[in-house]
Amino acid sequence: MTQAIAPAPETRFPEPTDGQKPKGTPSAKRTRAVTRPLQYIALALYIVFLGFPLLFLLITAFKTPQELQSPDPQFLPQQFNFDNFVAAIDKANLIHAAGNSLFVAVLTTVIVTAISLPAAYALARFRTKLRGVATGWILLSQVFPFILIIIPLFLVLKQIGLVNNLFGLVLVYTVWSLPFALWMLQGYVAGVPVELEEAGSMDGASRFRVLRSIVLPLLAPGLVATSLFTFISSWNEFFFALVLIQDPNLQTLPLTLARFVGAEGQVQLGQLAAASLLATIPSLVFFALIQRRLTSGLMSGAVKG
Amino acid sequence: MTVAATATKPAPTPTPNRPRRTRNRGFGGGGRDAWLLVLPALIPVLLFSVYPLAQGILLGFTDAKAGLNQVVTFNGVDNYSKLLTNDLFWNSFRIGLIWAFGVTILQFFAALGLALLLNLNLKLRWLARTLALVPWAMPPVIIAIMWRLMLNPTYGPINGTLRALGLPGDTNWLGDFSTALPAVIVVGIWAGMPQTTITLLAGLQNVSADLHEAASIDGANALQRFWHITLPALRPVIVAITTLDLIWNFNSFALVYVLTAGGPGGQTMLPMLFAYNEAFRYGNFGYAAAMGNVMVIIIAAFLFFYLRSQARSRLS
């Protein structure tokens, strides 16, 4: 990024013009005294904007239908009751849908991890034309609207009997999360020094041994992050599922919830909120686990790409 | 696509302490091994991603319809001449552009502000940082449900607050012709905050502290330092993330599908929703694919001009 920073030193010249500022710390302290409170106000506004909807969802999940319908709604529920959660699980067939989602997400994650690991290794270590092609495809696949892919995919899957079939969904999710997983993983592979591998092979370790005993352990955190990210993407996905799954028995969680919305009345808001919370928990937990790695992995993938 | 490639390319060059890479430093002879390793990933991508995509583009030049035993014939540019006079589609296109640009631009400023704050040593920073990440983990469907609660005309806290302040608090945000699109855009901003904020924050943390120090010793105030040091250094990151955001937003579906399903009266009918209805509600596969083709071309044109202008101003 040096070339981007390069022009910066010239900014020195305009400075002397604003003379009212004596150099050194006193002025810095004074401006800080003014700006700090403003910064805290801004931060507070962000916290409200980002956090309040979540808080409200949580609160709504605990309210009784009477409270929800009251013409003068109170912010906090009178008491914490879990009726909404029970009703939501019962009515929306939440458990069954969660089972479908879990099946699809786990299988997708396993397959994606298994096939993207060798590919990521190849992309990071062998500087062939493949690299350019793969990077190009990864980026290109972001530009095309899903509608272009889903129609022919729908036709193809229909021919081989994979519409209305969870395996069909797994297939689509695999292909669809592969580019991103590859992108992340190859960043992690690039972070493992080649010298370690060379040292290993010089000490007489076989190629497989080197990969298993040196590369894989170092890669483990990145692998975990990538696979959890794949899991979350599949768990959350909606569009492909909407098109490919019509059988109510095969619906994934997002589909079930979206259907729930259509039928909602004022009374059901609590159940809707409760169901939403329950459906968010898995990805939220996983996300908390990989949060730090994910952000660093994305950046290393981007920077080292 | 050179989108992120151009944007991120400058990064690796200036790290001189990285070991010099000869070709194929890993193991063995390179080419063939690389192919073997890539093959398991390549085959499904070719079969279920590249092939459908190519077919989808072709489908846009046919009269394909849903249903069994349909005879599909190429009809050249018929779909496109039909599209030209389809006011509903262009209206949806206009809405899609307002949505995509609205969300991307506003979100960029919101995320930049937040990233700058998170880069300071403020208390409660951890809370804002965590909250800024949460939308990433939430399914879009649930984000939409949550905001339907927020925007609910009678129960929702937004109208509740307005009423408490003595303002008219009975707006049906998602149901009113004039407020539906802005309301949906706000939700879009909320939902996309994590990616943009994190990317910008990571970019900020790469800005050289030495330069900042040097500039402040020379008397540059915070604004000047931001304008002359932070912003130029951040530029590649900004170009990359706004480009991606624009594409993602233009192609987004689930959020608005659950929020409004395109209503009221088509006021939030994003192009993806429109094409989805055309394909899977009315069964006009060929026509819907043609819409997809038009979307790609227009979004690619925007990206081309945007990236070219960015590349030019970087050179000058």
Dist. CA B127–CA B2, nearest whole Å? 36
Domain count, chain A: 1
CA A169 to chain centre: 18
- Non-local (6+) Cβ contacts of A105 within 8 A are A173, A231, A234, A235
Task: Report d(CA B43, CA A173) in Å as an integer.
Answer: 15
Q: Say whether A269 and B155 touch across the interface (CB within 8 A).
A: yes
How distant, in Å, are the alpha carbons of A147, A218, A228, B177 from that of A188? 32, 9, 15, 48
Q: What is the largest CA-CA distance in chain A?
A: 78
Structural domain contains residue A39: no
State pLDDT tens for residues B164-191: 888 887 888 888 888 999 999 999 999 9
- B292 and A303 within 8 Å at the Cβ level: the answer is no
pLDDT at A21: 40
Share of chain B above pLDDT 90, in %: 28
- Interface with B, mutate which of A25, A143, A173 (most B CBs under 10 A): A143
Tell me the residue type at A288: A
Sequence-separated (6 or more) residues with CB below 8 Å from residue B279: A147, A150, A151, B66, B285, B288, B289
Residue A106's Cα: distance from chain center in Å? 15
Domain boundaries, chain B: 77-315
B125 burial (CB, 10 Å; 0-12 / 13-18 / 19+) is middle
pLDDT for res B69: 65
The answer to whether A100 and A252 have CB atoms below 8 angstroms apart is: yes
d(CA A259, CA A263): 7
The count of residues in chain B is 316
Instruction: Pick left, alpha or beta for residue B123 (phi over 0 → left; psi -120 to 50 → alpha; otherwise beta).
Output: beta
CATH class of the structural domain B77-315: mainly alpha
With beta carbons under 8 A apart, name residues in chain A contacting B288: 147, 151
Helix (H) or strand (E) holding A139, with range, is helix A129-143
Cβ within 8 Å, pair A50-B292: no
Which is more confidently placed, B62 or B105? B105
Distance in angstroms (rounded) separating the CA atoms of residues A1 and A281: 39
Residue A80 CB: number of other CB atoms within 10 A?
10
Query: Quick one: pLDDT at residue A54?
Result: 93
Sign of the torsion angle spanned by Cα atoms B219, B224, B226, B228: negative
A42 within a domain of the structure (yes/no): no
Task: State which residues of chain A have pLDDT below 70.
Answer: 1-32, 71-73, 92, 128, 262-267, 291-305
Kindly tell me if the per-residue pLDDT of B14 is higher than 80. Answer: no
Q: How confident is the model at residue B217 (pLDDT cuts 50, 70, 90)?
A: confident
> Which tens digits make up the pLDDT trace of B87-123?
999 999 999 999 999 999 999 999 999 999 998 888 8
Q: What is the reported pLDDT for B251?
A: 87
For B190-202, letters b (16+ CB in 10 Å) and e give bbbbbbbbbbbbb
B261 vs B33, more confident:
B261
pLDDT tens digits for A184-232?
888 888 888 888 888 888 888 887 788 888 888 888 888 888 888 899 8
Residues 277 to 316 of B: which have CB under 8 A from any A CB? 279-280, 285, 288-289, 291-293, 295-296, 299-300, 303, 314
* B198 neighbourhood in chain A, CB within 8 Å: 295, 298
CATH of the domain at A285: 1.10.3720.10
The reported pLDDT for the residue numbered A1 is 29
Please, is A194 exposed, middle or buried when counting C-beta atoms within 10 Å of its C-beta (0-12, 13-18, 19+)?
middle
Cα–Cα distance measured from residue B14 to residue A2, given in angstroms and rounded to the nearest whole number: 6
A173: left (phi over 0), alpha (psi -120 to 50) or beta: alpha
Mean pLDDT of the residues in chain B? 83
A-chain residues near B220 (CB < 8 A) = 11-12, 15
* Cβ pair A148:B150 closer than 8 A: no
What's the CA gap between B124 and A152, in Å, rounded?
A: 49
Per-residue model confidence (pLDDT) at position B182: 94
Give residue-wise pLDDT tens across range B240-250. Answer: 889 889 988 98
Asked if B245 and B192 touch (Cβ cutoff 8 Å), the reply is yes
CB contact under 8 A, A298 and B198: yes
Percent of chain B with pLDDT over 70: 88
Residue A127 is nearest to which of B21, B50, B128, comparing CB atoms?
A: B21
pLDDT of residue B141: 93
Asked whether residue A137 is domain-assigned, the answer is yes
How near does any CA of chain B get to the CA of A85, in Å?
Answer: 15
Residue A76 lies in a domain: no
**DSSP for A2-41, written as a single string:** HHHHTTGGGGGTTGGG-TTS-SSHHHHHHHHHHHHHHHHH
Token pair recorded at residue A5 = 């920073």
Provide φ and ψ at B260, rounded to 5°: -135, -15
CA atoms of B192 and B103, how far apart (whole Å): 9
Q: Is residue A119 domain-resident?
A: yes
Residues of chain B with Cβ-Cβ distance to A269 below 8 Å are 149, 152, 155
C-alpha A134/C-alpha A179 separation (Å) is 8
Of A12, A39, A284, Cβ closest to residue B120 = A39
Closest chain A residue by Cα to residue B46: A175
Does a structural domain hold residue A165?
Answer: yes
A34 domain residue, yes or no: no
DSSP B60: T
pLDDT at B78 over 90: no
d(CA B261, CA B255): 9
Identify the closest residue of chain A to B224 by CA–CA distance.
Answer: A11
CB-nearest partner of A122 from B38, B57, B220: B38
Q: Give the structural domain span for A196.
A: 94-304
Question: Residue B74: what are its φ and ψ, rounded to 5°?
Answer: -70, 135
